[in-house]
Amino acid sequence: MPLNSSVLAAHRHRIYDFSLRFLRCREDAADVTQEVLVRFWQRGEHVEAQARLGWVMRVTRNACLDHIRRKKTRNGYTSATEFIEDFEGDEPSPERLSESADFRTRLEDAIAQLDEPYQSLIILRELHELTYDELAVSLDLPPASVKVYLHRARRRLRSALQQILTAEELTP
Amino acid sequence: MKAPLSTVDCHEVMDRFDSYLDGDLDAQTAARFEHHLHSCSDCAAEHAVAERMNQALGGTALEPCPDDVFVRAVAAVTTSENGQADRPPLAGKRLPGIFRWKALALAATVLVMFGLGSLPFLLNRADDEFSAEEIAQARMEVEFALGLVSNAGRETGVFLRNDILNDEVVQPIQRTISPIP
C-alpha cells in the first residue's frame, strides 16, 4: 500500500528547498523534487515513520548529486563548483543582482561554496533543523561522527564568511 | 592577540565553540568563554561571524515547493501505477473505448459530487472556523485531485488519438482509399 498523499505533501517543501539550495536552479530543483516525490511514494512505505525524514533527505541529496553528475557529463563540466559558477555566470537573476550586498545572499553563496558533506550538513541542520540522528541517516554518516563533521562545517563556513565580509558587515 | 587565560585558551574555545553557541556549556565554563572572548580579538571575530550567521540562518524560511511540481509528481505516480508510464503510445492492451469513457465519466462524477457535497458544509461555516491544518489538508486534497484530473486529461487525449482518430477515422479512410494503380 503506497504512502498517504498527505505524507508526500508534508515533505515536499523540504525536498524542494534542499534541492534549490544545492542545485541553485529552480528548474533543476523542480525536476529533482518530482523525481524524489515519485520515489518516496513508491518506496517510502517500507521506511519506519520516525526514520522517514532522514531517509527522504538522503534520497534528495543523492538525487541532487546524480543530477549534477548527469549535467556535468552532458555539458563537460569538471566539478560541481564549476557547474554552479557557470550557471550563475549565465543567468544572474534580477533578485541576485539587486541583493548582491545583502548578508543573507552572501551567506548562501558561502554555503554553496562548501564541499560535501559540509554543505548538506549546514543546510539540513541550520535551515531544516534535523536532529543528529536524522543527519546521520541523511548523510550516511556514523551517528558519533555527525557532531564532528558539523563542527568542521560551521568552522569552514565562518572562515569563508570572515574572508568575504567586511568588518562593517560582521556587525549585526 | 592570544589571551593569557589560565582556564581557557583559543584552542579550547575553537574546539567547544558550537557547544557554547548552542548553550550546552555549564554556567562556569560559559563565563570563562565570555571572559576569553573579551580579551582575544581572533576569537571575538569568530564569535561575531557566528552570531551574525546564526541570526541570518535562524530567520530563513524554507522555499515552498511550487504547486505544479507536486501536481506533476502525483500525475506521474498515478500514471506509473496504472502501468502507462513505460507503454508506447500505440502499443499494449487497452480497455474498449466505451469502458474507458465510462471510467472517465465516473471519475468526473465522483469529483463533482465531492465538490457539491462539500458545498453545504462550506456555506454553513464561517471562514475563521477553519483551522490552519484543515485548510492545509483541503489544499493538499485539491492538489491531489488536480493531479488525478491532469492524468485523466492525458488519458483522454491518448484515447481520442488512438481509439477515435486512428481506429475510427484514419484507418477506415485508409481502407476506403484504394491505392492509385
Q: Which pLDDT score is estimated for B89?
A: 33
Higher per-residue pLDDT: B5 or B12: B12
Judge whether A33 and A19 are in contact, CB under 8 Å: yes
Judge whether B160 and B91 are in contact, CB under 8 Å: no
Give residue A150's Cα distance to chain centre: 14
> Distance from A72 to chain B by nearest Cα, in Å?
24
B56 at interface of A, judged by CB pairs closer than 8 A: yes
A3 at interface of B, judged by CB pairs closer than 8 A: no
Query: What digits encode the pLDDT tens for the residues A93-143?
Result: 555 444 434 778 888 888 988 999 999 999 999 889 899 999 999 999 998
Judge whether A120 and A61 are in contact, CB under 8 Å: yes
Query: What digits encode the pLDDT tens for the residues B38-92?
Result: 888 888 888 888 888 888 887 778 899 998 888 888 887 776 665 544 333 333 3
Inter-chain Cβ pairs, chain A and chain B, closer than 8 A: 102
Exposure string over B110-134, b if 16+ CB within 10 A, otherwise e? eeeeeeeeeeeeeeeeeeeeeeeee
- Distance between CA atoms of B19 and B36, rounded to whole angstroms? 15
> Distance from A87 to chain B by nearest Cα, in Å?
20
- Distance between CA atoms of A86 and A3, rounded to whole angstroms? 38
Which set of grid coordinates corresponds to residue A154? 560551521
B67 at interface of A, judged by CB pairs closer than 8 A: no
> Distance from B45 to chain A by nearest Cα, in Å?
8
B134 at interface of A, judged by CB pairs closer than 8 A: no
> Residue B99: in which H helix or E strand, if any?
helix B97-123
Mean pLDDT to the nearest integer, B102-112: 59
- Distance between CA atoms of B82 and B84, rounded to whole angstroms? 5
Instruction: Give the global pTM.
Output: 0.63
Which set of grid coordinates corresponds to residue A17? 528547498
Half-sphere exposure of B154 (CA within 13 A, CB side): 14
Point out the residue among A13, A38, A158 whose CB comes nearest to the CB of B80: A38
Question: How much is the ipTM here?
Answer: 0.74
A63 at interface of B, judged by CB pairs closer than 8 A: no
Which set of grid coordinates corresponds to residue B52? 551574525
